[in-house]
Amino acid sequence: GNSVTQMEGPVTLSEEAFLTINCTYTATGYPSLFWYVQYPGEGLQLLLKATKADDKGSNKGFEATYRKETTSFHLEKGSVQVSDSAVYFCALSDASGGSYIPTFGRGTSLIVHP
């Protein structure tokens, strides 16, 4: 079956530091990959996505590249801000069973200090 593994948090950084949150996946087909962000007390918001190998998703300074050879989709940002403090979820979706039901990682909490 499909699975997503994220690095455990919390990740604690100072403002303007470089961020990497690792995500690797296992899938039977050719999945689309996603990063979602959840701010405290809120639902999930799509941050970025990539639908095929070597695609790079980017949004709000965050980037992630779909690496099929390493089955990875690591999230990066060059300079984090306090407002980036949130929980980040890596996810995949493919046609397993024809349903495209997504599989989520456990989430990684990011805490950015001023």
Work out whether 53 is an interface residue with another protein (CB under 8 A).
no
- Member of 12, 14, 20, 45 binding another protein (CB under 8 A): 45
Nearer of residues 29 and 78 to another protein, judged by Cβ: 29
Work out whether 51 is an interface residue with another protein (CB under 8 A).
yes
Work out whether 62 is an interface residue with another protein (CB under 8 A).
no
**Cα dihedral 78, 82, 83, 88 sign:** positive
CB atoms inside a 10 Å sphere around CB 89: 22
- Member of 32, 35, 57, 74 binding another protein (CB under 8 A): 32
The phi and psi torsions of 80 (rounded to 5 degrees) equal: -80, 155
- Member of 36, 62, 73, 88 binding another protein (CB under 8 A): 36
Work out whether 105 is an interface residue with another protein (CB under 8 A).
yes
Residue 63's contacts (CB-CB under 8 Å, 6 or more residues apart) are 48, 56, 57, 75, 76, 77
Q: Partners of 56 in the beta sheet?
A: 65
Work out whether 97 is an interface residue with another protein (CB under 8 A).
no
Asked whether the bond before 10 is cis by omega within 30 degrees of 0, the reply is yes
Work out whether 70 is an interface residue with another protein (CB under 8 A).
no
Work out whether 100 is an interface residue with another protein (CB under 8 A).
yes
